[in-house]
């Protein structure tokens, strides 16, 4: 089932499915090699995204590193006009778990690390989300989440009025038909803070979930990386470095060489919703059992309970998404 973007007012898309007006966006992330590609796309789309700020959270690596990495990537992209605010240093309840085995201790694979010229804001990431949503007109701020949902859940707990004021949430997280990537049934972002994910899922805010079912369809093949390499800019060079690193890591892990671009999906969705197929669903996040913690129970048979404010990504047009990425990085 193809739906018009549930994060946009009716009629707010062009014939090609692209949003007609700018989306005011907060990008909440844990960079992370694939978060980096998502950030580069968001930084490269100033005509479509009014990027109000980037908030960072402990996830793939610790909180000080994800904040540093966001500042570094911002500088490479030449977007120091965008504020970065560092958020939560640990999950709401469970013990912290990073993904340094994939992203390496720096969080950015083989990328050269430098000290960014501009540091994070003094405001905490959770307060940045609250202040931004509360100070703007209701229904105008969208948040994209590409890491554990700790910052957004904490913001919802601290200031519940943001729930009704959000235009919507586009998140990378969860798995249904694909199974998990950190346990048999859990995807990393949800596993890393299942309690936060449950707060967000149960909040009632419009939510588009890009889980592994859809992100595993969006893979950076050699040909797709080669096209980005032809752009020959600082951002394309860094992107190629990150994508090649992911390809080598996936190969070494025995997953095949074309790395899935998980975190790219929610940003690509906000720019070009027609590239994705969504299904309305009900969803709960498992938090009780040690073996199923972080599992997303996704039910397409709509009955009582939370939903259908939740849309689950089922299909992606990977060629279209890489065309979009390559085009925006070329601008």
Catalytic positions, please? 262
Task: Provide the CA 51 distance to its chain's centre, in angstroms.
Answer: 14
Among 28, 35, 250, 258, which residue sits at the site for Ca ion (rule: CB under 5 A)?
35
Q: Are 35 and 29 in contact (CB under 8 A)?
A: yes
Q: How far is the CB of 262 from Ca ion (least distance, A)?
A: 7
Q: Please give the residues from 213 up to 272 whose contact with ligand BDR meets the rule CB under 6 A.
A: 262-263
- Does the footprint of ligand BDR cover residue 296 (CB under 6 A)? no
Asked if 147 touches Ca ion (CB under 5 A), the answer is yes
Which region, judged by CB under 5 A, interacts with Ca ion, from 22-30, 65-73, 82-90, 314-322?
Answer: 22-30
- By CB under 5 A, which span of 13-21, 33-41, 149-157, 288-296 interacts with Ca ion? 33-41
Question: Helix 234-252 and helix 63-76: axis angle, to 10°?
Answer: 140
Closest-CA residue to 174 (of 154, 201, 153): 201
E strand or H helix at 54: strand 49-56
Site string for ligand BDR, 129-158 (x = CB under 6 A): -----------------xx-----------
Q: What is the 3-state secondary structure (H, E, C) of 281-323?
A: EEEEECCCCCCCCCEEEEECCCCCCCCCCEEEEEEECHHHHHH
What residues from 14 to 43 belong to the interface with ligand BDR (CB under 6 A)? Answer: 32, 34-35
Sheet of strand 141-145, all strands in order from the earlier edge strand to the far edge:
84-86, 49-56, 23-29, 141-145, 166-172, 207-210, 310-316, 276-285, 296-299
Report d(CA 199, CA 186) in Å as an integer: 17
| Residue 146 vs 217, nearer CB to ligand BDR | 146
Residue 47 burial (10 A CB sphere; 0-12, 13-18, 19+): exposed
- Measured from each CB, the residue nearest to ligand BDR is 188
Q: Of the candidates 7, 26, 32, 51, which one interacts with Ca ion according to CB under 5 A?
A: 32
User: Is the link from the previous residue into 56 a cis peptide, with omega within 30 of 0?
Assistant: no
Site pattern 42..61 for ligand BDR (x: CB under 6 A): ------------------x-
Of 91 and 147, CB closest to ligand BDR: 147
Size of the site for ligand BDR (CB under 6 A): 15
Rounded CA gap, 90 and 212, in Å?
A: 24
Q: Which stretch binds Ca ion (CB under 5 A): 144-152, 179-187, 204-212, 225-233?
A: 144-152
Joined tokens for residue 54: 């980037």
Q: How far is the CB of 14 from ligand BDR (least distance, A)?
A: 29
Question: Cβ closer to Ca ion: 8 or 84?
Answer: 84
C-beta of 30 vs 127, nearer to Ca ion: 30
Residue 35 CB, shortest distance to ligand BDR, in Å, is 5
Q: How far apart are CA 42 and CA 49, in angstroms?
A: 7
Binding of ligand BDR by 189 (CB under 6 A): yes
Q: Which residues bind Ca ion (CB under 5 A)?
A: 30, 32, 35, 146-147, 263
Residues of this chain that bind ligand BDR (CB under 6 A): 32, 34-35, 60, 99, 102, 146-147, 172, 181, 187-189, 262-263
């Amino acid at each position: 089932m193809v739906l018009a973007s549930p994060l946009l007012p009716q009629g707010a898309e062009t014939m090609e499915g692209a949003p007609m007006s700018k989306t005011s966006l907060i990008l909440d992330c844990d960079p992370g090699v694939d978060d980096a590609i998502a950030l580069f796309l968001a930084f490269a789309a100033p005509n479509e995204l009014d990027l109000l700020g980037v908030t960072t959270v402990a996830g793939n690596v610790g909180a000080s590193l994800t904040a540093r990495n966001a500042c570094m990537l911002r500088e490479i992209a030449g977007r120091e006009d965008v504020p970065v605010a560092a958020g939560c240093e640990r999950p709401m309840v469970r013990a912290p778990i990073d993904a340094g085995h994939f992203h390496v201790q720096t969080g950015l694979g083989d990328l050269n690390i430098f000290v960014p010229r501009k540091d994070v804001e003094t405001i905490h990431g959770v307060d940045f989300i609250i202040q931004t949503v509360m100070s703007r007109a209701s229904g105008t701020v969208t948040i994209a989440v590409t890491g554990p949902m700790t910052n957004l859940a904490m913001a919802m707990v601290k200031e519940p009025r943001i729930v009704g004021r959000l235009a919507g949430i586009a998140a990378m997280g969860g798995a249904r038909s694909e199974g998990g990537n950190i346990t048999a049934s859990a995807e990393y972002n949800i596993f890393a803070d299942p309690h936060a994910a449950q707060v967000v899922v149960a909040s009632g805010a419009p939510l588009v979930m890009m889980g592994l079912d859809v992100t595993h369809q969006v893979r950076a093949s050699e040909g797709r990386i080669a096209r980005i390499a032809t752009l020959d800019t600082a951002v394309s060079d860094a992107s190629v470095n990150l994508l090649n690193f992911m390809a080598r890591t996936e190969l070494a892990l025995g997953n095949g060489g074309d790395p899935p671009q998980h975190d790219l999906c929610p940003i690509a969705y906000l720019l070009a919703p027609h590239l994705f197929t969504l299904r309305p669903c009900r969803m709960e996040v498992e938090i009780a059992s040690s073996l199923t913690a972080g599992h997303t129970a996704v039910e397409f048979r709509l009955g009582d309970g939370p939903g259908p404010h939740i849309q689950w990504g089922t299909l992606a047009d990977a060629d279209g998404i890489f065309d979009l990425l390559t085009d925006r990085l070329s601008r």
